[in-house]
């Protein structure tokens, strides 16, 4: 992408309405714009990151055997009356009437809808288990939307729903999702810790939230250093092996981890001080087992063996895709701007032509741009070098190839790693092979 002809409206000034770093940086780097309270438009750079995050979530869901579908944002109130949640949900639910005076709502979540879809299609226990997911916009009419996309009213979430024959099966689905989540967050460069949580309006009796560490997080968290040392990759745990999933769950639940609300000072005191880790945390995911809550209320059953009737056991599993954009920035930024992890960065390399109009810098930056294809953002604007340095740091692309007249005359470039600030003068070939 050529910056000279791109829609990347960066801001020099810090927007007054933004209280936390990620919100300020998302506005300043031109990732999003607020269109109404708690509702955001994703501009080209922000949208690229959002899609990269969604792609990682999707890949790990698929690898765990979940199947993607897409349910609509609008739902009928009748569906929610079946479960009893239409009246129970309260003012967080955005309620709408269509032209025939029928009650609709903008979905805050999809337990009812997926149960309705499943009951219309599944007939036999042989068709279970199933895990279905979608990545779709949700709406919660939060009283106080704040912190930009971290607590919006409209937000993008992955939600998966599992249907199993029995409790043992539901527990396995739950553990499978837990493993998929740890891999998902690890791939985004995040240290996530699963913590026992309350189930709230979703219901059920088993729930974990996934907290990532960031200095500006909303809650204080305490955990055992063991979480940092676990190898979550498929070489140590397979989502297809029951024994692996159980061993994994035991690892996740025997080591100490708690938010301040559930902190147990006694258990903490017994932990070796060298293993104690403390920090601030942001919730980026939440998983629930709620058994037959929805299947029972909505009359969903399948034929079991020998004439038996089976009411499927269910769970639901959420990841805040749009919240993650803010959360990753909270976990990874400095005074100059965003520091994107390679896996979610909008571009891999920013090429800075420090003197537009100079033959040598022009030839070299164009050659690099052509070689890097869609991975590069070329700053070919007619701007001062200082402004280009500042914008490149602000936008946080992992590598910068800096091409001023002096290095260009020698046929070389300066390669800078955004995260460390390290800069080296290298040949074009070296620069290309290092970022590959
Ligand atoms: N149906 C269940 C599982 S999908 C559910 O609603 N879970 S939740 O309420 O815990 O939300 C799951 C995740 O969505 C949260 O961990 C968070 O990352 C994200 N989320 C929730 N509310 C918001 C919001 N207002 N803005 C941005 N992200 C949100």
Pocket test for ligand 1, best of 90, 155, 286 (most atoms within 8 A of CB): 286
Asked whether 160 and 233 are in contact (CB, 8 A), the reply is: no
For the chain, counts of helices (H) and of strands (E): 15, 23
Report the number of distinct structural domains present in the chain: 2
Ligand 1, atom 1: closest residue by C-alpha: 109
Q: Which atom of ligand 1 is nearest to the CA of 320?
A: 18
In-domain check, residue 80: yes
- In sequence order, which residues have a C-beta less than 8 Å from that of residue 114 and are 6 or more positions away? 71, 132, 161
Omega before 422 within 30 of 0, i.e. cis? no
Note whether 359 and 312 are same-domain residues: no
In-domain check, residue 218: yes
Note whether 46 and 183 are same-domain residues: yes
Range of the domain at 97: 3-338
Q: Please write the tens of the pLDDT for every residue from 15-30.
A: 888 999 999 999 999 9
Note whether 324 and 356 are same-domain residues: no
For position 9, which CATH number holds?
3.30.930.10
Q: What residue has token string 């190839």?
A: 401
For position 355, which CATH number holds?
3.40.50.800
Note whether 388 and 361 are same-domain residues: yes
Pocket test for ligand 1, best of 320, 325, 327 (most atoms within 8 A of CB): 320
Domain end (from 338, 359, 394): 338
**Average pLDDT along the chain:** 96
Segment (H or E) for 364? helix 359-372
Q: Please write the tens of the pLDDT for every residue from 281-339.
A: 999 999 999 999 999 999 999 999 999 999 999 999 999 999 999 999 999 999 999 99
Q: Please write the tens of the pLDDT for every residue from 205-247.
A: 689 999 999 888 888 999 999 999 999 988 899 999 999 999 9
Note whether 407 and 331 are same-domain residues: no
Distance CA 186, CA 190 (A): 5
Note whether 417 and 298 are same-domain residues: no
Note whether 400 and 290 are same-domain residues: no
Domain end (from 338, 364, 394): 338
Note whether 26 and 109 are same-domain residues: yes
What letter does residue 292 receive in the DSSP assignment? T
Note whether 128 and 57 are same-domain residues: yes
In-domain check, residue 146: yes
In-domain check, residue 343: no
- In sequence order, which residues have a C-beta less than 8 Å from that of residue 163 and are 6 or more positions away? 118, 122, 128, 129, 130, 131, 295, 312, 313, 314
Note whether 54 and 200 are same-domain residues: yes
- In sequence order, which residues have a C-beta less than 8 Å from that of residue 434 and are 6 or more positions away? 399, 415, 426
In-domain check, residue 243: yes
Note whether 272 and 353 are same-domain residues: no
**pTM, full prediction:** 0.96
């Amino acid at each position: 992408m050529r910056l000279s002809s791109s829609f990347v409206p960066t801001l020099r000034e810090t927007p007054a309405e933004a209280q936390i770093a990620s919100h300020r940086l998302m506005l300043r780097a031109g990732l999003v714009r607020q269109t109404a309270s708690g509702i955001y438009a994703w501009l080209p750079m922000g949208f690229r990151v959002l899609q990269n995050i969604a792609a990682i979530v999707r890949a790990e869901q698929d690898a765990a055997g979940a199947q993607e579908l897409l349910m609509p944002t609008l739902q009928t109130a009748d569906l929610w009356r079946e479960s009893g949640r239409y009246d129970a949900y309260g003012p967080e639910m955005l309620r709408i009437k269509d032209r025939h005076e029928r009650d609709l709502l903008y979905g805050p979540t999809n337990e009812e809808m997926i149960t309705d879809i499943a009951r219309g299609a599944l007939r036999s226990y042989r068709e279970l288990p199933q895990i279905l997911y979608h990545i779709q916009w949700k709406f919660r009419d939060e009283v106080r939307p704040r912190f930009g996309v971290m607590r919006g009213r409209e937000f993008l979430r992955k939600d998966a729903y599992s249907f199993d024959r029995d409790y043992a099966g539901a527990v396995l689905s739950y553990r499978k999702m837990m493993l998929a989540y740890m891999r998902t967050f690890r791939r985004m460069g995040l240290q996530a810790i699963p913590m026992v949580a309350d189930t709230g309006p979703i219901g059920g009796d088993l729930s974990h939230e996934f907290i990532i560490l960031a200095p500006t997080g909303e809650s204080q968290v305490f955990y055992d250093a063991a979480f940092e040392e676990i190898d979550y990759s498929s070489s140590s745990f397979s989502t297809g092996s029951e024994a692996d999933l159980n061993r994994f769950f035991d690892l996740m639940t025997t080591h100490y981890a708690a938010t301040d609300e559930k902190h147990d000072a006694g258990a903490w005191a017994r932990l070796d001080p060298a293993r104690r880790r403390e920090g601030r945390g942001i919730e980026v995911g939440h998983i629930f087992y709620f058994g037959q809550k929805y299947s029972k209320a909505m009359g969903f059953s399948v034929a079991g063996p020998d004439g038996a009737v089976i009411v499927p056991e269910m769970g639901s599993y959420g990841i805040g895709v749009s919240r993650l954009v803010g959360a990753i920035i909270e976990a990874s930024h400095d005074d100059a701007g965003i520091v994107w992890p390679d896996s979610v960065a909008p571009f891999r390399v920013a090429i800075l032509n420090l003197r537009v109009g100079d033959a040598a810098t022009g030839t070299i930056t164009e050659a690099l741009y052509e070689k890097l294809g869609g991975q590069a953002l070329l700053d070919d604007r007619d701007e001062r070098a200082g402004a280009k340095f500042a914008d490149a740091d602000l936008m946080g692309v992992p590598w910068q190839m800096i091409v001023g007249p002096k290095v260009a005359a020698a046929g070389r470039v300066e390669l800078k790693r955004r995260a460390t600030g390290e800069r080296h003068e290298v040949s074009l070939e070296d620069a290309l092979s290092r970022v590959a």
